[in-house]
Structure 1
Amino acid sequence: MKLIQKIGLILFLVGITVFTVLPFLGNYTLTETQVRENTKDIHTEKMIEILAPMYGQKYSSNFSFLTDFNKHFNEYNDQLKDQALWDQVIWDDYSFPLAKTALASPVSDNPWLFLFLSVGLAALGGLLYNLPKYQGEPEGVKNNGVFKSSMKNRGWMGMLTGAYLILFYVILYWFPAYLVNLVAMVDPLSVILSGNPASQWFLYGFIYTLAIIVMGVRMFRKYRGNKYQQLRTASVMFFQTAFAFLIPEILVLFNQPYFDFKNIWPLDYDFFYDYQIDTFLSSGGVGMFMLIWGILLIIIGVPLFTYFFGKRWYCSWVCGCGGLAETVGDPYRQLSDKSLKAWKYERYIIHGVLVLAVGMTLLTIVNYFSGFALLGNVTNQLHSFYGFAIGSVFAGVVGTGFYPFMGNRVWCRFGCPLAAYLGIVQRFKSRFRITTNGGQCISCGNCSTYCEMGIDVRWYAQRGQNIVRSSCVGCGVCSSVCPRGVLKLENGSEEGRINELPIIIGNDSIKLNN
């Protein structure tokens, strides 16, 4: 078994190395025809003129190509900005489509081969490493070696992993033109699913889904014997693969709007943007169903399901962000900050994001129905700010790149507006709670160690007090790792759900009369 794991680790490292090297392969040659085919009609003639000095030149790397492209493109825009001719500035970023069409590389010639040599080998290596894991060990989760691991406890391997993830996300979100080789690698798969060439978001979705599947296998091995954890893992794998990745792409293949049926406002913050509403309304019955479905989820689905099951129905069983956190991020769950200070920051930040999302949406809806007569420009600026600061930096870069630094639920705990909405319902109007049996608690601390949401579960368990917290995602890991069966996830009557008076069990708590 150790040999299989070593082979798996070698294959994984080879795959990651190939994946890292691929963006630097190939050369770039731009033509007027490529510019004409990859720019909007209103910009075509001007772009042909701006990029004329680049035609026919052979660039040996994406760095040299993009440096020259940005030089010519920015010179034109800067002149217009200096003259305050804002309506003539080209705000669209054409670097990615033009770099992709100008690319000539072994990757674009043999995409399936390089897909296997990079992502394929990494996935295969991950499976081979995880399948034999915990073989021969008794069932039950242990934190043996967690705090001595250089990968799992902010050691050099964890820091290196975090830095790699952060760098990848930064390039993916803001400099995708440097990743055109990687995008070209998944072009054939994108064409099969949607009929269209791949974008950087298809590449991201594919890797994201594959990571959840591979690390989901690890979850099956780690939590074997625990049906709740196994069903929960299978659920997030299914919803990510089917609803977040495959179905939206297949919808596009049938000329329908790209739509993730499980993504709910305000997490899906652009649901009420004007272009989204226009897309729904112009897509016939299917588009109207998507619009109504999304609205019903917001006003009926969320409160109803959360009342009966708590926020776990979404955060731990359905959500793709939660799915990645529970699978890929599971080795880092013990890094979540349990301090009172972190909890105070959490309350202000996550509810602040919710207020911002609600305010932006209300302004957007009012502007839409008033023909953007009210603060139309401000609305667009607010959209840009929210998309950059929350949708990209917080949810994307910090939310996943910071796993090895701050634990696996940074976004869910501090930034997700839907988690805040679900949490408010769960705290004040829900049947869900985690019950405790204080008399059985031995204060081992496993529950608090493994709580990814920064809840000091042991504090409640020692007092025999029900855990009713808006941040709890009901993952159930605290219950899974408890050696005494103190914790239990329950959906019961609201009566007695919140018990403020603790039951203290100590040396003097019970006295026998002789």
Structure 2
Amino acid sequence: MLLVVVGVIVGLIPMAVPAAGLIAVSVGVSMLTAGSLWYFYLRFLRRPHLANTGVWLQKQTSRGWTAWLVAILLTGFYVLLYWFPWVLEGLIRPFDGLSGWMRNKPADHWFLYGAFYTFAVLLMGVRALVKYRHSRYQIIRTISVMFFQLVFAFILPHLMVLFQGPEFYFSYFWPLKYEYLFPGTVANLLKQPIGTGVFLVFWSATLSFVATPILTYFYGKRWYCSWVCGCGGLAETAGDPYRHLADRSRKAWRIEVAVVYPIFGAIILLTILLWVNSYLKGDLLGQFSGGFAQWYGFFIGSIFAGVIGVGFYPLLGNRVWCRFGCPMAAYLGLLQKHFSRFRITTNGGQCISCGNCSTYCEMGIDVRHYAQQGQPIIRAACVGCGMCATVCPRGVLKLENGPREGRYNASQLIHPDNLRILS
């Protein structure tokens, strides 16, 4: 871990000494990568079983002083990124070469963020592959989020810019990337030559209103939240050490319901109002609709998704944004709850009430409660990461995709009243 810490410090030197630039960043990233890989080997690869113990005994994963330090550093980075990007100039300039090669223009703070984000998913993705190497489901799922982040959320958007197109993120769409179906964005996309804009609008609309319901019907929200989404990709890789910190109280569930669905409703209302306002040439709302969109982007997109959603990983768990703020999670959750074949079945007769499933549920679901009663888990919040089944020592839990008939039926249990010891 010392090599990791030194690597981070060296990598940040250009913020104070811009002349160090590319050399300091290269050395820092190399040390960070080497130190992390060595730690993964010592912590996970040398053990023949799932190394998932001691998380509440380590300061980094139990809200100790190191966790607070990491949270402050992450939060500080997001504050600088959103509101004081010029402070990061020393870190941005070393990426001019990569940015020029990928999109034929100098790097900016968003390119820096995309590079750091992708690097975090890839590096911590290796950690997940090593840690969960005994689970075929986790291996495939981790490779999937690494692929979609690298290709769909980093390489392709910048290649679009290289070929004089818009910087379009193919793995994000309405309502998460809400502006993609706003009238102003659609109008700008349709101005693109050779039908590129038409394809991008078609891509966004089709994924939002056709592909999403169909895929969620067959596979639940996991097809996106745990396999494709970049936010989920970071949560499942870089945020994996903190998944046990999710609040499992009923109060947290009430807050979740009271916040995430109104946010989704606000996106629907905003989209409709913007289109009506556009049709009436601004006579309905004037500049109010645009101001509301900016307000939402600031408070929800910046503060909630970035500063709190990622910066507070070490304190609140890795799915704060997904649970309490993501409109896509709300949309998928409603479909999963009421119009999907997906469920997690439980074999209550095998459950030993160890609590591993509930402890490592990143969405704060009390999985053990369902398992003890043999009830299937059909929750709007569940992202289908499968971690509950992975950490279960008895094979009690199973992720299934149908059929819908009898979806809520519990597994057969032997009730104590039906036992006759003496007859």
1:247 equivalent in structure 2: 156
Letter in 1 for 2:405: E
Letter in 2 for 1:187: D
Letter in 1 for 2:300: I
Partner residue of 2:122 out of 185, 201, 213 = 213
- 2:183 is the counterpart of 1:191: no
- 2:36 is the counterpart of 1:121: no
Partner residue of 1:168 out of 77, 90, 100 = 77
**Counterparts of 1:173 and 1:462, CA distance in 2:** 46
**Residues 75-474 of structure 1: matches in 2 within 5 Å?**
105-107=19-21, 111=22, 113-142=23-52, 144-284=53-193, 285-474=195-384
Partner residue of 1:496 out of 401, 406, 412 = 406
For the residue of structure 2 that corresponds to 1:169, the secondary structure is: helix
Tell me if the contact between 1:131 and 1:217 (Cα under 8 Å) persists in the aligned partners: no
**Counterparts of 2:70 and 2:118, CA distance in 1:** 19
Aligned-residue offset at 1:279 = 2.2
Aligned-residue offset at 1:132 = 4.0
Q: Which runs of 5+ in 2 are unaligned?
A: none
For the residue of structure 2 that corresponds to 1:496, the secondary structure is: coil
**Counterparts of 2:317 and 2:92, CA distance in 1:** 29
**Counterparts of 2:20 and 2:367, CA distance in 1:** 53
Tell me if the contact between 1:431 and 1:497 (Cα under 8 Å) persists in the aligned partners: yes
Aligned-residue offset at 1:244 = 0.1
**Counterparts of 1:428 and 1:411, CA distance in 2:** 23
Letter in 1 for 2:92: V
Aligned-residue offset at 1:362 = 1.0
**Counterparts of 1:18 and 1:434, CA distance in 2:** 46
Superposed CA deviations along residues 14-65 of structure 1, whole A, max 9, x for unmatched, are 2211233321224xxxxxxxxxxxxxxxxxxxxxxxxxxxxxxxxxxxxxxx
Cα distance change, pair 138–158 in 1 and its aligned pair in 2 (3 A): same
**Counterparts of 1:277 and 1:428, CA distance in 2:** 31
Tell me if the contact between 2:190 and 2:198 (Cα under 8 Å) persists in the aligned partners: yes
**Counterparts of 1:149 and 1:395, CA distance in 2:** 27
**Counterparts of 2:41 and 2:222, CA distance in 1:** 27
Aligned-residue offset at 1:224 = 1.1
1:18 equivalent in structure 2: 10
Superposed CA deviations along residues 384-435 of structure 1, whole A, max 9, x for unmatched, are 1101000000011111001111100000011100000000000001010000
Q: Which runs of 5+ in 1 are unaligned?
A: 1-8, 27-104
Tell me if the contact between 2:14 and 2:25 (Cα under 8 Å) persists in the aligned partners: no
Superposed CA deviations along residues 449-498 of structure 1, whole A, max 9, x for unmatched, are 00000000000000000000000000000000001100000011101111
1:31 equivalent in structure 2: none
**Counterparts of 1:136 and 1:294, CA distance in 2:** 45
1:58 equivalent in structure 2: none
Aligned-residue offset at 1:357 = 1.0
For the residue of structure 1 that corresponds to 2:309, the secondary structure is: helix
Identical amino acids, percent of aligned pairs: 50
Cα distance change, pair 196–503 in 1 and its aligned pair in 2 (3 A): same
Letter in 2 for 1:363: L
**Counterparts of 1:197 and 1:449, CA distance in 2:** 45
**Counterparts of 2:36 and 2:82, CA distance in 1:** 26
TM-score, normalisation: structure 1: 0.80
**Counterparts of 2:372 and 2:51, CA distance in 1:** 21
TM-score, normalisation: structure 2: 0.96
For the residue of structure 1 that corresponds to 2:141, the secondary structure is: helix
Aligned-residue offset at 1:286 = 1.1
**Counterparts of 2:192 and 2:41, CA distance in 1:** 45
Cα distance change, pair 463–295 in 1 and its aligned pair in 2 (3 A): same
For the residue of structure 2 that corresponds to 1:435, the secondary structure is: strand
Tell me if the contact between 1:315 and 1:419 (Cα under 8 Å) persists in the aligned partners: yes
For the residue of structure 2 that corresponds to 1:400, the secondary structure is: coil
Tell me if the contact between 2:348 and 2:411 (Cα under 8 Å) persists in the aligned partners: no
Tell me if the contact between 2:12 and 2:25 (Cα under 8 Å) persists in the aligned partners: no
**Counterparts of 1:384 and 1:249, CA distance in 2:** 24
**Counterparts of 2:29 and 2:50, CA distance in 1:** 32
Tell me if the contact between 1:205 and 1:245 (Cα under 8 Å) persists in the aligned partners: yes
Tell me if the contact between 1:141 and 1:222 (Cα under 8 Å) persists in the aligned partners: yes
Tell me if the contact between 2:14 and 2:20 (Cα under 8 Å) persists in the aligned partners: no
Cα distance change, pair 378–442 in 1 and its aligned pair in 2 (3 A): same
Aligned-residue offset at 1:274 = 4.0
Aligned-residue offset at 1:383 = 1.1
Aligned-residue offset at 1:508 = 4.0
**Counterparts of 1:225 and 1:16, CA distance in 2:** 31
**Counterparts of 1:304 and 1:186, CA distance in 2:** 40
Aligned-residue offset at 1:439 = 0.5
Cα RMSD after superposing both structures:
1.6
